[in-house]
Amino acid sequence: MPIALEADSPFAAPLREYLDHLRVERGLSANTVAAYRRDLARYVAHLDMLGRREPGQVSEADVAGYVEAVRTGDDGGAPLSPSSTARALAAVRGWHRFAHAEGLADADPTTQVQAPTRLRRLPHALSVTDVALLLDAAGAGDGPLPLRDRALLELLYATGGRISEIVGLDVDDVDHDVPILRLHGKGGKQRVVPVGSYAREAVAAYLVRARPQLVAAARKQGSPAVFLNTRGARLSRQSAWAALQTAADRAGLSGVSPHTLRHSFATHLLGGGADVRVVQELLGHASVTTTQIYTMVTPDALREVYAAAHPRAR
């Protein structure tokens, strides 16, 4: 099914009015408006097929039927994942709210329609042994880069920091006499996290033995950043990601990203008995609900607990 909006559709004019509202009054980007247009063009094609001629004729059942159609692909389009279906429904909700507010319909038929439940997947976390392998691999070799990469990954795992927070650190943010670090998170929010001795020692070794060599390569005035690239400028997120990938390849680990270390940090803390609200603070999550995904128990862990605790498990 084509997703282009047919010019002769009775919904063409009210839909254009809504898209203009998104672009002009709400100031959404051209890419975002284009995404709304694609989702709503598919929805309007569904309404056209049902014989609806105006927003006021659309029922709750029509909207629910559309959600099911895009989820399964029964409308001739590609079936959507639960998250993409939820996004498509959000676009439909926005349009119907607008139509109701503008007097184009007496009611909003989307208020009771639910999006498909999203599967909550457990974040991928490394074992403690694999983390050790990864950190050792990062520090293998001679020269300033292994010292830098070891310090970078040690700090990611020790603090649970986002990659942007760690590469955004300046030298003045690091106090070797105090085992804490101030991270600058999303929305300008700051949080204080403790730093263990392994990470502190790795950062100190890098700052004393490796960073001066990288500073010497600077073509301009030296950067205040803790982590520098080979030109003496602040290490980018992309370069930090590449350093992690190199270490993962050396350690024989796959599917490792900077967020993997953040997930591992949270998982290992909770597994060691840390309170979920403390982990929430350390991660900088606004809601404890976000952190609680780490408390989901894997089937293997369930079996181990059952085998150890149930009197007739053997």
Q: What ranges do the domains of the chain cover?
A: 12-101, 128-303
Annotated active-site residue 263? The verdict is no
Mean pLDDT of 49-65: 91
Position 2 scores a pLDDT of: 37
Residue 24 CA: distances (Å) to CA of 40, 130, 191, 304: 18, 51, 37, 58
Lowest mean pLDDT among 1-15, 29-43, 63-77, 101-115: 1-15
Position 300 scores a pLDDT of: 61
Tokens of 263: 């997930």
Annotated active-site residue 262? The verdict is yes
Mean pLDDT of 262-281: 85
Annotated active-site residue 234? The verdict is no
Buried b or exposed e, range 86-123, using 16+ CB within 10 angstroms: bebbebbbbbbebbbeeebbeebbbeebebbeeeeeee
Annotated active-site residue 162? The verdict is yes
Phi/psi at 185 (5° precision)? -95, -160
Tokens of 205: 């070794």
Position 214 scores a pLDDT of: 93
Q: What is the mean pLDDT of the chain?
A: 85
Annotated active-site residue 186? The verdict is yes
List the catalytic residue out of 53, 186, 189, 303: 186
Mean pLDDT of 79-95: 90
List the catalytic residue out of 259, 277, 303, 306: 259
Tell me yes or no: is domain 128-303 CATH 1.10.3470.10: no
List the catalytic residue out of 100, 162, 184, 211: 162
Tens of pLDDT, residue by residue over 190-245, are 888 888 899 999 999 999 999 999 998 877 777 899 999 999 999 998 999 999 99
